[in-house]
Amino acid sequence: MFARKIFCVLACLGLTYSWILRVVHKPTRISSILNLRNVDRPELILFTSEKVAADRGVLRLVSEAIEEGTSIVFLCTQPGENHGSGFEKVLEGSPLRDQIPIIKSEGHPPPPHPGALSALRKSLEIIPDGFGGSSGFGMRAGDPPRSPLAERCVVFDDSVEGCLAARAAGMRAVAIHQEFDSVPGLERSCDIVFETIGEDGDCDFITFDDLYTPGSFWLNPSLPRDAEGNRCDPDTGDSEGTRVAREASEFVEEGTPQADGESDVTSADLNDDELARILGDMAPARQRSQ
């Protein structure tokens, strides 16, 4: 009833029906809605495969990320002097060369061990985004500098081992492989798989906005998981079951701890008289039990 009265008043003022509809159904700006969404921007993007780093669209994706303040690192996790040269070729002559460090992992086992990824993440420092809605509503002071959060890190790789290392470190794993169907286990080891990153205008390509949480590929923050999906240590990759089994194995190998004052005594250490005395003490007990 109230809406009908408003409509009649506006009609008396000579306003047309179409104009009234434009006022009532004024479109809302998408950007204003996005400012109010609870989304987390990726804080670190890692390329751990030289082949993926040379893929179409990498420099475009990297440029989008850098514009938003996200750190980019090319990380070589494989041993060898020649490893890392592919990263150099990708950035050769690019204006992004000074903004993307190429780091060689040393002192850590190769993938699927997550140690190199976790160690690199902890060695970096970023200034996290502040919290606030549009037009400064609800703004508060930003957090102090800290390391990127594992759940806000995204790893690009083309192997099962590299993707498993990323997931064990608590990061998101994006697999890029033109023939991913021919790689057993690749789809199950990553969060999402594509044939190529692609360029703007392609039928299917990856943008930086796709990597948000929630975003186009995932909704919830990631957790450190091993190949079987069990919660694991992001530094070692050991799951709770693996740790318990290892400790049990070590316990069996070392033997049951002895109480204070006890010693390892065998029959070989006793003479005939001592053995006869011990057996004599045991004999009455056996007789009573009969």
Residue 36, pLDDT score: 42
* 186 in any annotated domain: yes
Of 165, 167, 137, 154, residue with least CA distance to 213: 154
Three-class SS state of 47 = strand
d(CA 261, CA 185): 55
The answer for residues whose C-beta is within 8 angstroms of residue 95's C-beta and 6 or more apart is: none
pLDDT tens-place string over residues 126-146: 998 876 554 555 556 667 999
Q: Indicate the average pLDDT of the chain.
A: 80
Other CB atoms within a 10 A radius of the CB of residue 104 amount to: 16
Residue 245, pLDDT score: 61
Predicted confidence (pLDDT) at residue 32 exceeds the cutoff of 80: no
Residue 203, pLDDT score: 87
Residue 240, pLDDT score: 73
Confirm if 45 and 72 have CB atoms less than 8 A apart: yes
For the domain that residue 171 is a member of, what is the CATH number? 3.40.50.1000
* 288 in any annotated domain: no
Q: Is the model more confident about 23 or about 66? A: 66
Predicted confidence (pLDDT) at residue 163 exceeds the cutoff of 60: yes
Three-class SS state of 50 = helix
pLDDT confidence bin for 289, thresholds 50/70/90: very low
Other CB atoms within a 10 A radius of the CB of residue 155 amount to: 29
* 70 in any annotated domain: yes
Residue 175, pLDDT score: 98
* 285 in any annotated domain: no
* 167 in any annotated domain: yes
d(CA 260, CA 17): 96
Place of tokens 């975003």: 215
pLDDT tens-place string over residues 164-202: 999 999 999 999 999 999 999 999 999 999 999 999 888
Of 86, 82, 85, residue with least CA distance to 53: 86
* 102 in any annotated domain: yes
Residue 120, pLDDT score: 98
Predicted TM-score of the model (pTM):
0.71
User: Containing domain of residue 48, as a range?
Assistant: 40-127+145-211
Beta bridge partners of 155: 46, 173
User: What's the rounded mean pLDDT across residues 9-17?
Assistant: 50
Percentage of the chain modeled with pLDDT above 90: 57
User: What's the rounded mean pLDDT across residues 10-34?
Assistant: 41
pLDDT tens-place string over residues 219-261: 999 999 999 999 999 999 998 766 666 666 666 666 655 555 5
* 67 in any annotated domain: yes
Residue 168, pLDDT score: 97
Of 78, 237, 240, 83, residue with least CA distance to 164: 237
Predicted confidence (pLDDT) at residue 70 exceeds the cutoff of 70: yes
Q: What are phi and psi of 71, to 5 degrees?
A: -80, 145
d(CA 182, CA 179): 6
d(CA 55, CA 90): 9
Beta bridge partners of 279: none
Using CB atoms within 10 Å of the CB of residue 272, give its burial: 0 to 12 exposed, 13 to 18 middle, 19+ buried: exposed
Number of domains in the chain: 1
Residue 1, pLDDT score: 47
Residue type, 187: E
* 13 in any annotated domain: no
Name the token pair of 32. 């204003």
d(CA 83, CA 14): 75
pLDDT confidence bin for 25, thresholds 50/70/90: very low
